[in-house]
Amino acid sequence: MGHCITVEKLGIPTTPLVTRAFHELAIGNATKRGMPHARITFTPHPVASKTPEELRAYVEGKEPFTGEPFMATIVGALTKPLTAEERATGPMKVASGPERYGPDTPDHLQQFYLDNGMTDYLPVIIPTEEQVTAMLAGTRRKPDEIVGRMAAGAYEPWEYTVRQVAINAVMAGCRPEYLPVLLAIASSGTPSLMSSTNSFAYAAVINGPIRDRLEMNYGIGALGPFAQANATIGRAWTLISKNLGNGGIPGDTYLGSLGNNLNYNNLIIAENEEASPWSPLSVQKGFKAGDNVVTLFQGLGMVPGQGAKGGALWDGHHEKQISDIFKIFTGLFGAFAVLDPLVAQDLKKNGFDTKEQLIDWLFENTRQTVADYKGRHFYDGFDLPRALNGIEPFVSWSKLPDDALVPYWPSKDFIHVVVTGGQTNAFFQAGNLRHVRSISIDQWL
């Protein structure tokens, strides 16, 4: 809708093609952008995974809402003169409400938040003036300072202040000392709720001494619900995405078909730097050892695995296992491996002196045929246009024979390794997640 409206403003007629499942969303999006009477052509739903014959039947059939021939609807939308109503410009008038309103008791306010989609549908801490003032003591930044802007995709981004982030931190159950981490995340403009029909997951890896100051868990159960900091920082990220980032409204700004359980409080990982034989993730991202850093990732989720049996993660059965786990991922995202320190230590003993050496091995040993690569659902929509535009390595890969082998990712930069956990067994988890951004937490202390 946004692209078509931009082109319309240049004087070129358009008609967005939208599947019928997004009828109300498309109209609402056009209305928000100042064109409530945009000429939209709807197709049957779904379009994905349909055969060429099924798609041709759509084109030769009727438009679902008008009942007119599909192609005639498109031609008419592009050629018929605009009506007076369609030619109207300017902002829509919205009736003004009362200057002040709100529930009269904490219980009613709790219900108000639930009814208006301002929570994750679990009870929240009521952000009283006293609670918010106490939360603001966690940073030296001024309450009215602008932190950043956020949007859940192709929507108008919202701007927010330190105070507004602090309000959501209170609601999520954070302590004041957690606020700098949340401000760093919020400053990135990265929402943990995205409008894609994919049900994305988000992760944040935290490095530096602040892990201990916040009493974050990076031992037994590091990825589980066993520390207030890990749990509430992740939860606050979701509330910020809903209340400050113009996101999280199903059918409007959130379209994930299945949803993702990780969205409740995301995946918050404090790296076990002390037990790791390698440098922390923050150092790999250009920061100094001892800097407090949060690194954000986006993708589809995590799957479990186990390794180091028999003294080598890559030996025999486990070589196949780790390769199979990584091969379920696509080049559209990166590979994100979370290793228990026992796995990392064993890898170190067996010749992987650095994370970079392990990443080199993973890159070289998780290959796919060109035929499989071209058969993946993302190829036509993402990599083929890159190849046609001469972007490497996509242009070179596209010219190889079908039985040639190519990597799963364009470069080794798409693979990340993090070490955390309590060393009770040599397990790892792997995720289809890509690096988004690494941010200094120290600047928000």
Q: Hunting for tokens 């993946």 — which residue is that? A: 376
Contact status, residue 408 vs residue 328, Cβ threshold 8 Å: no
**How far is residue 37's CA from residue 86's CA, in Å, rounded to a whole number?**
6
**How far is residue 32's CA from residue 18's CA, in Å, rounded to a whole number?**
17
Q: Hunting for tokens 């969303």 — which residue is that? A: 25
Tokens of 131: 């609670």
Give helix 317-327 / helix 355-365 axis angle, nearest 10°.
80
pLDDT of residue 89: 64
The CA distances from residue 333 to 109, 221, 321, 416, in Å, are: 40, 26, 20, 11
Would you give per-residue pLDDT tens digits along the chain (445 residues)?
Answer: 878 888 888 889 999 999 988 888 888 778 777 788 889 999 999 887 788 899 999 999 999 998 999 999 999 999 999 888 887 765 544 444 444 456 778 888 899 888 888 999 999 999 999 999 999 999 999 999 999 999 988 778 899 999 999 999 999 999 999 999 999 999 999 999 998 888 999 999 999 999 999 999 999 999 999 999 999 999 999 999 999 999 998 888 898 989 999 999 999 999 999 999 999 999 999 999 999 999 999 998 887 765 544 334 444 444 455 555 555 555 568 889 999 999 899 889 888 999 999 899 888 888 889 998 898 877 888 899 999 999 999 999 999 999 999 988 899 999 999 999 999 988 888 888 999 999 999 999 9
Closest to 263 in 3D by CA, of 388, 74, 122, 411: 122
**How far is residue 101's CA from residue 292's CA, in Å, rounded to a whole number?**
41
* Burial profile 289-320: b = 16 or more Cβ within 10 angstroms, e = fewer: eebbbbbbbbbbbbeebbbbeeebbbeeebee
Identify the three-state secondary structure at position 397: helix
Tell me how crowded residue 283 is: count the other CB atoms within 10 A of its CB: 17
DSSP assignments along 346-367, one per residue: HHHHTT--SHHHHHHHHHHHSE
Helices (H), 251-329: 281-284, 317-327
**How far is residue 45's CA from residue 47's CA, in Å, rounded to a whole number?**
6
**How far is residue 186's CA from residue 250's CA, in Å, rounded to a whole number?**
22
pLDDT of residue 21: 83
**How far is residue 25's CA from residue 342's CA, in Å, rounded to a whole number?**
49
**How far is residue 281's CA from residue 344's CA, in Å, rounded to a whole number?**
14
Q: Could you list the beta-strand ranges (E) of 223-292.
A: 267-270
